[in-house]
Chains A and B, each alone.
Chain A
Amino acid sequence: MHEFSLATSLLDLVRANCPDDEVLESITIEAGPMRGIEPQAMQWAWEAATNDTDLHGVKFELIQQPWTLHCPDCQTTFEADDMFTDCDCGCSRTSPVDCDNLRLVRLTVKDHANELV
């Protein structure tokens, strides 16, 4: 189950990117459709991986990206829900491009609004 090993890899990355004096509330990752990540499995994996660690209780948000397809005829790049989507120009030889992202894109930390300045 690769979701679990992704979650484990995330722990180190999150720690390395979160400033020491902040309280982390949630993290957001962005995943391209090539990665075949199952959202529910990823959610469970995150909870299991953070359980018994300093990151326990930190929420996890997954942004699943659509397919990005490139048309070799008219050179346009467009988004689609299905990998095999023809281009508006009629071309059916569209290929996926940059569909394998897997990035930590955001850390949400507790607001300082109520603190004295």
Chain B
Amino acid sequence: MDIPVVENVLKLNDEVASINRKTLTQAGVYTVDLIGSPGSGKTSLLEATFKQIGQKARIGVLVGDLTTARDATRISKWCPDVVQINTGKGCHLDANQVRQGLDRLKLEELDILVIENVGNLICPVGFDLGQNSKVGLFSIAEGDDKPAKHPYIVQEAELLLLNKMDLLPHVTFDMDIFKEDITRINPTVKLLEVCATNGWINEWCDWLLAKAGK
């Protein structure tokens, strides 16, 4: 005998995410879930962001990492408000892990929270954490076909960043294909070109400050 049901598989996660969203909104914190492949430059982008606008806005960071504390150590040079979340075997952060991370931050003192998700372009996308927006980070070194192969982040993101622009002359990368695929999947998403290691991230910083009302 069949019993029909219609239940979102991630219902429990989404409920905790709503609580996170409420907590963060009440504390006046603008929250970004930063999603990108391993090595696309998520931590480098954060380091450059602190260098550039660390004085203008108070930014906290939650870092998801499989087993190490290396990213948290890198970021702690710039910011006292960094919390490391080890996901063990988990390939993404879930709302409950973020909930526990939030308990360790002084949210009232923050303007912005960036959650560096585990390096992965698929799994993290489907898990709501309670963020205001998802930002997808691609890089030149990964190749121009990544949006087509990972459409979920393209569709869900409010902003996409293309990092390592300094490598463009050295790599086969068709910018037209990259952009056409993105537009086809998500005609309204914004795309900014950046270079984290050269500090060429002005547009990203402006976007972030505007979102946080700074």
Query: Which residues from chain A sit less than 8 Å from chain B, CB to CB?
Result: 1-2, 4-6, 9-10, 12-13, 17-19, 22, 29, 34-36, 72, 83-84, 92-96, 99-100, 102-112
Measured CA separation A29–B183 after assembly (Å): 30
Query: Which residues from chain B sit less than 8 Å from chain A, CB to CB?
Result: 1-13, 89-92, 94, 122-123, 126, 148, 151-152, 155-156, 181, 183-187
Specify the main secondary structure of chain A where it touches its partner. mixed
Contact of B122 among A2, A22, A102, A108 (CB under 8 A): A2
When the two chains form their complex, are residues A2 and B2 in contact, meaning their CB atoms are under 8 A apart? no
User: 5 interchain pairs (CB within 8 A)?
Assistant: A5-B94, A13-B11, A83-B151, A93-B184, A107-B2
Measured CA separation A41–B110 after assembly (Å): 40
Measured CA separation A6–B94 after assembly (Å): 11
Q: A34-B155, A36-B152 are in contact. Are A108 and B8 (CB under 8 A)?
A: no
> What's the least CB distance linking A27 to chain B, in Å?
9
When the two chains form their complex, are residues B122 and A105 in contact, meaning their CB atoms are under 8 A apart? no
Q: A105-B4, A106-B3, A108-B3 are in contact. Are A2 and B187 (CB under 8 A)?
A: no
> What's the least CB distance linking B200 to chain A, in Å?
30
Contact of A112 among B1, B5, B126, B187 (CB under 8 A): B1
Q: A95-B184, A103-B6 are in contact. Are A2 and B91 (CB under 8 A)?
A: yes
> What's the least CB distance linking A23 to chain B, in Å?
10
